[in-house]
Structure 1
Amino acid sequence: MERKKIAVIGIGSFGKLFAKYLFQEGHEVLAIDKREDIIQDIKDFTTVAVSLDATDESALRSQAIEEMDIVVLAIADDFQTSVICADILKKIGAKNIYARYQTDLQQKILSLLGIANLFNPEERAARSMSEMLGYSSVKSNFLVSEEYSVVEVNVPKRYIDKTIAEADIRHKYEINIITIKRYIVNKESKRASDSKIEKILGIPKGSMTLRENDILVIFASQQSLNKFLEG
């Protein structure tokens, strides 16, 4: 994994978790929020945590924002600050700006400012949850974009004991199988609860036979996924 320098501006509930996960993944994380108590709470889980006004151009420049590989504008409850900060970030030449929005109007305004990478974590979480509840075979769902997802799904019964080439999922549904998770018997286990262990089978070949209880990790559009699950 390539270590990146990432700034997270706005350490609310989402920003806090996001910054922590990035730091745990080994990235260099700069956390910025106007509240000192929030900064004190996050400082041990980031590379640098700074309390400053995100609408102050000089303050942002002092943190060398333009040198960051990615800047994530995660402010949720003060859209005016988001707009001003986004405008400053564009002005000082920040690279790869990602901005959070909550309404369609906010999305349009940020787009007009030239911010191409926009996200709504609540919408994505709700969509992912609804898909998991809507299909019992879906184990997890990670949204890559508004259209595409990486999904873990139980192998449909119609494909059990068929090879990947025979199933021909890629051509029938325009779905790519990234890998397969398979539970195998752990003969050395002393406890029944540990008798099965999950194994990642790597990049699957066309000759690989799909077995009952296999979990397919697939990349697909929502439309293709629905067709695949509905058979």
Structure 2
Amino acid sequence: MQRKKIAVIGIGSFGKLFVRYLFEDGHEVIAIDKDPIVIDSIKDFVTVAVTLDATDEHALRSQGIGDVDYAVIALADDFETSIICADSLKKSGVSLIYARYQTELQKKVLELLGIRDLFNPEERAAKSMAETFSFAGMRSSFLLSDEYSVVEVTVPSRYINKTIADADLRHKYNINVITIKRPTTNKDSKRTSDSKIEKILGIPHGNTVLREDDIVVLFGSQTDLTKFLET
């Protein structure tokens, strides 16, 4: 993995988790928020934690904002600040800017500013949960974009004891099997509650036989995945 320099502006509940995951993955993370209490709470989980006003272009430049690989505007409740911040980042030479939006109007305004990489974590989480409830066997769903998803599904009964080649999901549904999670027993566990584990089988071959209770991890467009799940 190539280490990136990433600035995250706006450390709310989403921002706190986001910067920690980035830092744990080995990236250089600059956390920026106007609240010193918030900055103090996450200073040990990022590379640099800075208290400053994100609307102050000179303050942003003082942190070397123009040198970051990515800047993520994670502000949730202050859209005016998001707009000014986005403009300041562009003027500072940041080429890759991700911005959070909450409404379609906010999305359109950010697009007019030339921000193309937009995200709404609440919308994605809600959609993923709705899909989990909507389809039998669905374990989880992760939206990669508006078009593509990764889903975990308990292997349908019609494919039990068949090989991946026999199931032929690639040609029938235009979806790919990423891996298989296979429930197994940990014989070294001292507690019964810890004895059940899921073993990742890695990249499966065509001759891999699908077993009952296997969890199949699939990638494809949401349209193709829906066709598969509704069959």
Partner of 2:114: 114
Q: Using the TM superposition, give the Cα deviation of residue 190 of structure 1 relative to its aligned residue in structure 2, in angstroms.
A: 4.7
Gaps of 5+ in 2: none
Distance 1:16 1:186 in 2: 34
Structure 2 residue 174 is the aligned partner of structure 1 residue 170: no
Alignment-mate amino acid for residue 214 of structure 1:
D
The one-character-per-residue Cα deviations of 1:173-210 (angstroms, maximum 9, x if unpaired) are 11111111112334444544344432111111111111
Equivalent position of 2:15 in the other structure: 15
Against the structure 1 CA distance between its residues 43 and 226, is the aligned structure 2 distance closer, same or farther, given a 3 Å change threshold? Answer: same
Report matched runs for 1:120-139 at 5 Å: 120-139=120-139
Q: In 2, distance between residues paired with 1:145 and 1:80?
A: 26
Please tell me the residue identity of whatever aligns with 2:97. Answer: I
Q: Equivalent residue for 2:215?
A: 215
Deviations 1:202-227 (A, max 9, x none): 11111111111111111122111111
Q: What amino acid maps onto 2:141 in structure 1?
A: N
Query: How far apart are the structure 2 equivalents of 1:20 and 1:191?
Result: 31
Matched with 2:39 is 39
* 1:204 pairs with 2:204: yes
1:99 matches 2:99: yes
1:49-108: CA deviations, max 9, x gaps? Answer: 001111111101011111111110011111111111101111111131100011111111
Instruction: Give the C-alpha shift of residue 128 in structure 1.
Output: 0.7
How is 1:156-195 mapped onto 2 (pairs within 5 angstroms)? Answer: 156-195=156-195
> SS of 2:183's equivalent?
strand
Shift of 1:136: 3.6
- Closer, same or farther in 2 for the Cα pair 1:77/1:186, shift >3 Å? closer
- Provide the rounded CA distance (Å) in 1 between the counterparts of 2:188 and 2:23: 36
Equivalent residue number for residue 155 of structure 1: 155
Q: Which letter does structure 1 place at the counterpart of 2:124?
A: R
- Identify if the C-alpha distance between structure 1 residues 188 and 75 changes in structure 2 by more than 3 Å, giving closer, same or farther: closer
Instruction: Give secondary structure in 2 for the equivalent of 1:183.
Output: strand
Task: Report the equivalent of 2:90.
Answer: 90
Give the distance between the partners of 2:42 and 2:191, measured in 1 at CA. Answer: 40
Aligned pairs for 1:21-100 within 5 A: 21-100=21-100
The amino acid across from 2:154 in the alignment is N
Conservation of the 8 A alpha-carbon contact between 2:135 and 2:230 = no
Task: Give the Å deviation of 1:117.
Answer: 0.2
Q: CA offsets, 1:20-40, max 9 Å, x none?
A: 221122211100011111111
1:54 and 1:188, CA in 2 relative to 1: closer, same or farther beyond 3 A?
closer
Taking a change above 3 Å as real, the CA distance of residues 14 and 195 of structure 1, as seen in their structure-2 partners, is: closer
Q: Give the unaligned 5+ runs of structure 1.
A: none
How far apart in 2 are the matches of 1:191 and 1:114? 55
The alignment's TM-score, normalised by the length of structure 2, stands at: 0.95
How far off its partner does 1:130 sit? Answer: 0.6
Pair 1:162–1:92, CA change in 2 (3 A): same
Structure 1 residue runs of 4+, over 6 Å off?
none
Residues matched between the structures, number? 231
User: Letter of the aligned partner of 1:93 in structure 2?
Assistant: G
CA contact (8 A) 2:30 2:48 kept: yes
